Amino acid sequence: MKNDTGPEKISMILTAKPPVVKPPAYEWQDFALKIIAEFAVPGFKRNSVFKVCKQNSKELVEKAVNETKELCQSGERWKYFFKVIDSLKKPKTSR
| Structure confidence by residue, pLDDT tens digits, 31-61 | 999 999 999 999 999 999 999 999 999 999 9
Does 41 reside within a domain? yes
DSSP-derived secondary structure letter, 39: T
Q: Which residue has the higher pLDDT, 6 or 15?
A: 15
Q: How far is CA 17 from the centre of its chain?
A: 27
Does 33 reside within a domain? yes
d(CA 41, CA 48) in angstroms, rounded, equals 10
Does 7 reside within a domain? no
Instruction: Record the pTM.
Output: 0.70
Of all residues in the chain, what percent are helix, strand and coil, respectively (each to 5)?
60, 0, 40
Per-residue pLDDT, 85: 94
Mean residue pLDDT across the chain: 86
Give the domain range for residue 50: 22-89
d(CA 26, CA 54) in angstroms, rounded, equals 9
Does 37 reside within a domain? yes
Domain count, the chain: 1
Percent of the chain with pLDDT over 70: 88
